[in-house]
A and B are shown apart, each in its own frame.
Chain A
Amino acid sequence: DTAVSQTPKYLVTQMGNDKSIKCEQNLGHDTMYWYKQDSKKFLKIMFSYNNKELIINETVPNRFSPKSPDKAHLNLHINSLELGDSAVYFCASRDINYGYTFGSGTRLTVV
């Protein structure tokens, strides 16, 4: 049973399109995150939600909008995709001892 699952695993789309990535965790954690890993493998936080409330919003273009319908789900919607958005996006959840569980990632390629 996958702890943190993301869909889709791969996403290829044209510039200007709008796309969504879905994330679900079955660990019962209250806090979830989105991280972006660029082509040089550098990982950077984008957003964090705690029990459906936004608690961290890093300097991310407002074309990116997270949505958390409940504490087990954190989705990421991206409007007007640009070439520079190509990256691997990781969803994660965090336990009470501060350990993160990451999903397997969504590789987004904008062409």
Chain B
Amino acid sequence: QQQVKQSPQSLIVQKGGISIINCAYENTAFDYFPWYQQFPGKGPALLIAIRPDVSEKKEGRFTISFNKSAKQFSLHIMDSQPGDSATYFCAASIKAAGNKLTFGGGTRVLVKP
């Protein structure tokens, strides 16, 4: 049972365009929702995170939108750059349960120059 479902699996966007990745979760006890960026041969790196009492969070070109009633959250990458080409993972965790991350399946983003 996959508790966090991520789509699309892959995405191609032109430089300057917007990349949108969506995630849906099932467990309403989740209370922390981070996004990670992973380059080939590297470990995932924390990009941005949100808590369920906030509907949107923006850091630079990256924005998380959160819809608690729909149990969905998404990552928007504005003005996408070739250096953004990577695999992106959404995740969810329960702080009181050791904060183990349950990851989505990942989205491979390719930004074409």
Chain A positions within 8 Å of B, measured between CB atoms, are 4, 31, 33, 35, 40-45, 48, 50, 55-56, 58, 90, 92, 94, 98-105
Taking A42-B105, A94-B99, A100-B101 as contacts, is the C-beta distance between A105 and B46 under 8 angstroms?
A: no
- Does the CB pair A56–B98 fall under 8 Å? yes
Task: Write the residues of chain B forming the contact surface with A, with a CB cutoff of 8 angstroms.
Answer: 32, 34, 36, 41-46, 49, 87, 89, 93, 95, 98-103, 105-106
CA of A35 to CA of B103, assembled, Å? 11
Query: Which residue from chain B places its CB closest to the CB of A94 in the assembled complex?
Result: B99
- A98 with B95, Cβ < 8 A, contacts A33-B100, A42-B105, A45-B100 known: yes
Q: Give chain A residues whose Cβ lies under 8 Å from the Cβ of B105.
A: 40-42
Q: In the complex, what residues of A have CB within 8 A of residue B41's CB? A: 104-105
Can you list 27 pairs linking A and B with CB atoms under 8 Å apart?
A4-B43, A31-B98, A35-B101, A40-B105, A41-B87, A41-B105, A42-B103, A42-B105, A42-B106, A43-B89, A43-B101, A43-B106, A44-B103, A45-B101, A55-B98, A56-B98, A56-B100, A58-B100, A90-B43, A90-B44, A92-B43, A94-B99, A99-B49, A100-B36, A100-B46, A100-B101, A104-B42
